Structure 1
Amino acid sequence: MFRFFVLLFCLCIGFSSYARMNKVNNELLADLKELSSAKMQGRKTGSSGSHKAAQYIIDRYTDIKLKSLTTEYRQTFDYKSGFWSIKKGENIVGVLLSDNPNANYIAITAHYDHLGHSGSKIYYGADDNASGVAAMINIAKNLKTQNLKHHYIFIATDAEETGLYGAKAFLNSNLIDTTKIVLNINLDMLAVAPRQKQLYAFSSKTMKPYKALIEQKNNTTMTQFISSNRKMNIKLKTQKVDWRNASDHAIFRKHHIPFIYFCVGTHKYYHTTKDKFENISPKYYVASVKHIYQTILSLDTIQL
């Protein structure tokens, strides 16, 4: 009888853990689906769809109870568009503080803007980059339950597509002491499985000692660590895209802040109207986000 109750207890614990994990996975996919829905109209900077996406992220930060450094997590900024035009962008910034007030920061970034729409044609941006923003929200929620050695700042950047302006605005601001940022983890395009189910971790060479930690393998994804001291380009039709400058991590690199850029590279849906929720790879995406989260937990224990 005692063994029966022990077995029943273990089954209950296991079921509870499975149910929680299933809920977290469902929330991750729900966030991605909502951010890439038709009502967001492709999230072009300054558009009504962009404002809806920003509010959605704010609501999720509020649910998680992240600390805000501004009014409602908003960091507004101006940037030049062409020779004469000045436009406005808006980063959404939340903070999760360690119990150690002297801790350094790990900055997690994911741009929420995309290409918008042209008439009835919508560039939904499910992989680029609703996938990164949904992953960041998921990671923030999970980190909230941990005893952390670093402070974490979560930056949903705007105007990345037009010139990485949101990342520039954040690092040029005084929201935090940016000299205390010891690592940037940039999430941009995570949800469409490459043929070999490979997740790339493109990194500054200062992170090379942690290659084995980052390059963990499982049955669903295989992470390849690539140090930025190697010349590595993404082929995109007839062009080549330099990974060092492909997304927001480029601005952290220019500020001499170590970075890891998680991505799948480019694919046939990239910057097309077919980059929508129906074309992501849910199982691969969930596994990739879980892997990134586990990597962050491991890095948190290290004096970076």
Structure 2
Amino acid sequence: MITASAVLISTGHAFASKDLEQDIITLTSAQFAGRKTATQGAQLAAEFVSERFTSLGYTVDEQSFTYQSGFFGKATGRNIIASQNSRCENCKKVIFTAHYDHLGQKGSRLYPGANDNASGVAALLYLAEHFAQSTQPYQLVFVATDAEENGLHGSEYLVSTLNKDEIKLNINLDMLVVNPRKPRIYAFLDKQSLAQYQTDIKTLSDEQLTFMATSSSARLNRLFDLKVDWRRASDHYSFAKAGIPYIYFGIGHDKHHHQSTDTAAHIDFTLFEYAIAKIALFIEKLPS
């Protein structure tokens, strides 16, 4: 079997994967209480992610924002932004996003959110570690967004602070736990990005894992027997509305979605790591 490490070694790079499983275990622990926005659990999650980025040598900033919560209330969220020191002038930015918030705790029932979206945050940290010392023809920015579950508020605020002319691409990571019985990653793109990147995404497929690229919600919904507007399904929608190219990587449908059963016990970490390694290969081939 080809391992994720072997995939990266073939390109002259190697992942330091020791933290991948532990990151998900930590984010889904009872201490983090389901990471509901504006709770102590979410604060602990934000601090954890910030410390991990700092340990990787990134410049880390916190972006606080407020949004309407209910008819009369307001809530405060926190985005955590990790930036590379730019190695070239006038580089465009590739902005990675993954929301760290989840549903929290309802009564005695904990919603750990392993796939949704501790998996995306772990992947974000994993990719940040891989690219920490690399030189790319663009600047990489890694953002752990808050308040996605409440209406994409973190990514909305993030995009409002950006100059879209400086952005090459948004890569949104949300629900990446591959189902071993149907090992597939879906890439949902805007039409322009589909034309540009579809071939490169398809070439990631092999006998262990299939990558499918599409800009059609109808096509995905036929596969899952769902009625979902995938363009609006996660934080990439905030970029889409601003006319910024995006790619949303995820598995599409998970029977544990928004259930208390969304735990780390359901994760095949070897396959999960393999999927992230493949995404890293795609990023390395992005043209300037």
Work out whether the TM-score is over 0.5.
yes
CA distance in 1, matches of 2:77, 2:141: 19
Amino acid at match of 1:156: A
Tell whether the 8 Å contact from 2:120 to 2:173 is kept in structure 1 after alignment.
Answer: yes
Equivalent of residue 241 in structure 1, options 223, 228, 246: 228
Partner of 1:119 in structure 2?
Answer: 107
Which ranges of structure 1 fall in alignment gaps of 5 or more residues? Answer: 1-13
> Which structure is richer in relative contact order (CA contacts within 8 A, separation 6 or more)?
2
Which residue is 2:126 aligned to?
Answer: 138
Corresponding position: 1:209 with 2:209: no
Does the 8 Å CA contact 1:232/1:242 hold for their aligned counterparts? no
Q: Do the aligned residues in 1 keep the contact of 2:180 with 2:271 (CA within 8 Å)?
A: no
1:98 CA displacement: 3.4
CA contact (8 A) 1:114 1:129 kept: yes
How far apart are 1:152 and its partner, in Å?
Answer: 1.2
Q: Aligned in 2, Cα 1:60/1:232: closer, same or farther, shift over 3 Å?
A: same
Q: For residues 238 and 120 of structure 1, what CA distance do their matches in structure 2 show? A: 32
Q: C-alpha displacement at 1:74, in angstroms?
A: 1.0
What's the counterpart of residue 149 of structure 2?
161
Q: Give the AA of the match of 2:172.
A: N
Partner of 1:182: 168
Runs of 4+ in 1 over 3 A off after TM superposition: 230-239
1:220 aligns with 2:208: yes
Q: How many residues align?
A: 277
Counterpart of 1:92 in 2: which secondary structure?
A: strand
Deviation at 1:234, TM superposition (A): 4.0
* Distance of aligned partners of 1:194 and 1:254 in 2 relative to their CA distance in 1, 3 Å threshold: farther
Does residue 171 of structure 1 match 2:163? no
Going from structure 1 to structure 2, the CA distance change for 1:81 and 1:28 (only over 3 Å counts) comes to same
Q: CA deviation at 1:36?
A: 1.3
CA distance in 2, matches of 1:269, 1:170: 29
Asked if the contact 2:156/2:238 (under 8 Å) is kept, the reply is: yes
Contact between 2:104 and 2:111, CA under 8 Å: does it hold in 1?
Answer: yes
Q: Which amino acid aligns with 2:163?
A: D
In structure 2, distance between residues paired with 1:234 and 1:51:
35
Partner residue, 2:3: none
State the identity as a percent.
37
Q: Which amino acid aligns with 2:44?
A: K
Q: Secondary structure at the match of 1:295?
A: helix
* Segment of structure 1 superposing worse, 216-225 or 247-256: 216-225
Counterpart residue number, 1:100: 88
**Match for residue 23 of structure 2?**
31
What is the distance in 2 between the residues matched to 1:89 and 1:236?
34
Alignment of 1:9-20 (within 5 A): none
Letter in 2 for 1:242: D
Match of 2:34 among 25, 29, 42: 42
Which shows bigger deviation, 43-52 or 276-285? 276-285
- Of residues 53, 57, 60, the one that matches 1:61 is 53
SS at match of 2:17: helix
1:214 Cα offset (Å): 1.2
Residue 115 to residue 238, structure 1, CA distance change in 2 (3 Å): farther
Q: Normalized against structure 1, the TM-score is what?
A: 0.86
Rounded Cα–Cα distance in structure 1 between residues aligned with 2:158 and 2:214: 26
CA RMSD of the aligned region, Å?
2.2
Q: CA deviation at 1:280?
A: 1.4
Note if 1:196 corresponds to 2:193.
no
**1:141-168 per-position Cα deviation (integer Å, ceiling 9, x unaligned):** 1111211110111110000001000000
SS in 2 for 1:24: coil
Find the residue that maps to 1:231 and give its secondary structure: helix
Q: CA deviation at 1:32?
A: 1.5
